[in-house]
Structure 1
Amino acid sequence: MVPLLLQLAVLGAALAAVALILISFVAFITATEMPHLHRQEDEKFFLNARGQREALPSIRDSPTKQLSVVVPSYNEEKRLPVMMDEALGYLEERQKQDPTFTYEVIVVDDGSKDETSKVAFKYCQKYGSDKVRVITLVKNRGKGGAIRMGVFSSRGKKILMADADGATKFPDIEKLEKGLNDLQPWPVSIRI
């Protein structure tokens, strides 16, 4: 009885692995060039820590960071500081442990009616615009639109979306990264 259950478990695991490989293969083969991202003129720039406008990078550029964290935010002036303190605390500590680790946090203010951009910009001033960037959308595009804008403006080899409400626990990133590394090898042209 036990050998039969063991054989079924091994067969199930093998089928799951084959399915994952097949899905990855189909996604790679059918992927086309990324669509154009329409930006309002004011959405092509971010303010650096000194308050000067700088052009946003493109996802088409070569990655210069190991990790980008995109935070879509709509009227999050009250909840954003808790999430940012936890995220930046973790990311800074990780960088102290491993000086080769690089990251950026991109807060995308999705046309908020409150002070979300100002709250986020204080983190930019504290940590520098190389680590924290704020993109303020002219009008609300919805969560998907805000995520898309952040992803298309990221510099990371890996891109993570985290909600401003603090639902993501940042130490769990290492578990996610380990899982992704276990799926290697990835084609060189894919950014995760």
Structure 2
Amino acid sequence: MTTNNEPFLSIVIPAYNEERRLPATLAAIKAFLVNEPYTAEVIVVDDGSEDRTAEVAEAAGATVLRCEHRGKGFAVRTGALAARGDIILLCDADLATPIEEWPRLRAAIERGYPIAIGSREGIGASREGEPWYRHVMGRVFNWIIRLVALRGINDTQCGFKALRRAVARDLFQRVRIYGDDAPIVRGAAVTAYDVELLFLAQRRGYAICEIPVKWRYGTETKVNPLRDSWRNLRDVLRVRINDLCGKYDVTSTPIEEVAPR
């Protein structure tokens, strides 16, 4: 439960060389939060940036955590484990899913779901400006994910996810691919850390609510179709191999078992 010294919401934003896009994102979040009745903290995790990402975030009033450049998965984990809010919202530095979609995820959490994830699929979802080939690639990748590791989730890769703090800590302390020993990487590293996180959530028995959201394609996206498709496929296969080798400890009782209403 939230205490007087803890915020209700922690917003965690992984960022690598985002000095250009962060100011608008942080301004939009600040403008949204000013009208909300709860307290919140904004955490920007600087993933070893080579520009002024950290300085820009600090100037905007965000809490900045600096880490070595180990990719988005490691940065998200760093922020989630440091967050103090009762609910942790993960979102991308370009705010591709507008912060105004957060109340829909909050409603699912307050109905009893320990995890609510934004989805670019399903009735009510919308994609703005996405090239057709990127959409096709995403659907093929999701088919592979459902075949190899996860069932019942239409969109694992939308970067807009909310988790109860206790559940987030439970899961992020169990991840293996982008855990404490994650390797240093070069360049932008878009990963399938989401697949491992949600795989562990399902194995741990946490209910996941998938919420259709609005999403817009970023013209400055760091996704490299060939390089990142291979990296993501490798991550999915590693999740399955880790599971088959018994590397995931999923036997203890889940921290929070709440029946969604």
What TM-score does the superposition give when structure 1 sets the normalisation length?
A: 0.56
8 Å Cα contact 1:106-1:150 kept in structure 2: yes
Larger radius of gyration: 1
What TM-score does the superposition give when structure 2 sets the normalisation length?
A: 0.42
Structure number having the greater helix percentage? 1
CA shift digits 1:70-98 (9 cap, x unpaired)? 0000000001111111111101221xxx2
Counterpart residue number, 1:135: 65
Using the aligned pairs only, state the percent identity.
Answer: 38
Ranges in structure 2 where 5+ consecutive residues have no aligned partner? 116-163, 169-261
Q: How much does 1:183 deviate? A: 2.7
Counterpart residue number, 2:105: 176
CA shift digits 1:30-58 (9 cap, x unpaired)? xxxxxxxxxxxxxxxxxxxxxxxxxxxxx
> Size of the alignment, in residue pairs?
118
8 Å Cα contact 2:42-2:63 kept in structure 1: yes
Counterpart residue number, 1:152: 81
Using CA pairs under 8 Å that are at least 6 residues apart, name the structure with larger relative contact order, 1 or 2. Answer: 1
Change (3 A) 1:184 1:151: closer
Q: How does 1:22-171 map to 2 (within 5 A)?
A: 64-94=6-36, 98=37, 101-124=38-61, 132-137=62-67, 139-171=68-100
Q: How much does 1:189 deviate? A: 8.8
Change (3 A) 1:172 1:141: same
Q: How much does 1:62 deviate? A: 10
Q: How much does 1:108 deviate? A: 0.4
Aligned partners of 2:165, 2:43: CA distance in 1, in Å?
A: 23
**After the TM superposition, which segments of 4 or more aligned residues of structure 1 sit over 6 Å from their partners?**
none
8 Å Cα contact 1:62-1:155 kept in structure 2: no
Q: Secondary structure at the match of 1:68?
A: strand
Ranges in structure 1 where 5+ consecutive residues have no aligned partner? 1-60, 125-131
- Cα RMSD of the aligned pairs, angstroms, is 2.6
